[in-house]
């Protein structure tokens, strides 16, 4: 099924620029509609966090300051959106089914970011999440995990720098799990349009389930020719080996399942998903 609706969560202007470029390129590729969603901090959520010992006037001042800061940020993000849309030649407006053009609109709402993005993502073909600002830990991103765990839909983690292309050379990280199967289903429309597809497999990555050859045979039924390549861990890291193999292939999209192990286990002990989230410099299409 082709992509028709894409959502981008855009709350910052620095890292958000690369994600906005990737989302607009995706919308143009699929002639889809892109909704750029900006979630403002709800000033009412500040009061419970103020703590004891603050007067009502002090709390009110904090709420007013929060509203002003949110308004400034919303304005900056809206300006970024308008500049990027014009640069990419995408039409601002409502979706135009069957018109063969990409469209985009900007929506700004107040609330809890992770709740709103997860809810909105449930009726989107793809949700794009920007790479975190420098110094932030992508593996602990509430928005990213809200989409992965609470929307039932795939998520595209944009790299910190805008990619020159997206979806022409695709790598599939395959380990036979239900999560990787879900990622394959999300990636099939991309693979049908790609120039070349490579399945990446490793004995250290494979779990109980169908192997890479089985996946290649399945994709062939969808008229997708995919070669199989085996990679090795680097310094005992499967994630590092997966990224290195994708880079060697010149991939501009990596699709893979997320959190075959529990998220808590990966946060504490590390894991393939966590390594990819923290170290990948190419767009990553994830599903679970």
Same domain? For 148 and 203 the reply is: no
Last residue of a domain, one of 157, 178, 193: 157
Q: Which residues in 1-50 belong to E strands, given as ranges?
A: 5-9, 33-40
Statement to judge: residues 188 and 276 lie in one domain: yes
Query: Do 259 and 127 fall into the same domain?
Result: no
Domain membership of residue 164 (yes or no) is no
Share the mean pLDDT of the chain.
87
For the chain, how many structural domains are there in total? 2
pLDDT confidence of residue 71: 79
- Tell me what the mean pLDDT of segment 224-240 comes to: 95
Categorize the per-residue pLDDT at 59 as very low, low, confident or very high, splitting at 50, 70 and 90: low
pLDDT score recorded for residue 266: 45
**In terms of C-beta distances under 8 Å and separation of at least 24 residues, what long-range contacts does 275-280 make, across chains too?**
275/237, 275/238, 275/239, 275/240, 275/243, 276/173, 276/239, 276/242, 276/243, 277/138, 277/139, 277/141, 277/144, 277/157, 278/137, 278/138, 278/139, 279/239, 279/240, 279/243, 280/157, 280/159, 280/243, 280/254
Is residue 243 one of the residues assigned to a domain? Answer: yes
Domain check: are 226 and 94 in the same one?
no
> Does some domain include residue 110?
yes
Output 65 or 217, whichever has higher pLDDT: 217
What is the domain extent for residue 91? 5-157
The confidence score (pLDDT) of residue 282 equals: 94
Q: Are 30 and 4 in contact (CB under 8 A)?
A: yes
88 and 22, same domain (yes or no): yes
pTM (2 decimals)?
0.87
Q: How confident is the model at residue 15 (pLDDT cuts 50, 70, 90)?
A: confident
- 262, pLDDT greater than 60: no
Last residue of a domain, one of 128, 157, 186: 157
Residue at 162 is within a domain? no
Q: What is the CATH number of the domain that holds 132?
A: 3.40.50.620
13 and 125 housed in the same domain: yes
Half-sphere exposure in the Cβ direction for 207 (13 Å, CA):
14
Domain boundary among 157, 188, 223: 157
Instruction: Clarify whether residues 142 and 199 are in a common domain.
Output: no
Q: What is the pLDDT of residue 134?
A: 45
pLDDT tops 70 at residue 156: yes
Q: Are residues 126 and 173 in the same domain?
A: no
In SS3 terms, 50-115 reads as CCCCCCHHHHHHHHHHHHHHHHHHHHHHHHHHHHHHHHHCCEECCCCCCCCCCEEEEEEEECCHHH
Say if 81 falls within a structural domain.
Answer: yes
Do 142 and 11 belong to one domain? yes
Asked if residue 92 and residue 32 are part of one domain, the reply reads: yes
My answer on whether 254 and 125 are in the same domain is: no
Task: Give domain status of residue 139, yes or no.
Answer: yes
Q: Establish if 163 belongs to a structural domain.
A: no
């Amino acid at each position: 099924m082709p992509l028709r609706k894409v959502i981008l969560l855009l709350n910052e202007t620095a890292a958000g620029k690369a994600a906005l470029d990737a989302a607009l390129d995706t919308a143009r590729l699929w002639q889809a509609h892109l909704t750029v969603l900006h979630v403002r901090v709800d000033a009412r959520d500040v009061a419970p966090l103020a703590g004891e010992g603050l007067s009502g006037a002090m709390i009110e001042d904090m709420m007013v300051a929060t509203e002003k800061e949110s308004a400034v940020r919303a304005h900056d993000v809206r300006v970024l959106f308008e500049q990027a849309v014009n640069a990419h030649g995408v039409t601002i407006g409502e979706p135009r089914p069957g018109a063969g053009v990409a469209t985009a609109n900007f929506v700004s709402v107040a609330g809890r970011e992770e709740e709103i993005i997860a809810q909105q993502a449930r009726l989107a073909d793809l949700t794009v999440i920007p790479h975190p600002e420098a110094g932030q830990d992508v593996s602990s991103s509430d928005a990213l995990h809200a989409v992965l765990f609470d929307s039932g839909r795939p998520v595209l983690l944009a790299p910190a720098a805008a990619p020159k292309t997206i979806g022409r050379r695709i790598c599939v990280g395959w380990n036979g799990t239900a999560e990787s199967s879900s990622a394959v289903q999300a990636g099939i429309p991309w693979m049908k349009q790609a120039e070349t597809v490579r399945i990446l497999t490793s004995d250290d990555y494979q779990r109980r389930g169908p192997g890479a050859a089985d996946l290649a045979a399945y994709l062939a039924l969808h008229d997708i020719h995919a070669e199989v390549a085996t990679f090795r861990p680097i310094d005992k890291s499967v994630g590092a080996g997966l990224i290195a193999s994708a880079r060697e292939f010149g991939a501009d999209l990596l699709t893979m399942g997320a959190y075959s192990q529990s998220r808590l286990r990966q946060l504490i002990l590390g894991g393939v998903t966590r390594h990819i989230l923290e170290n990948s410099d190419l767009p990553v299409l994830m599903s679970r």
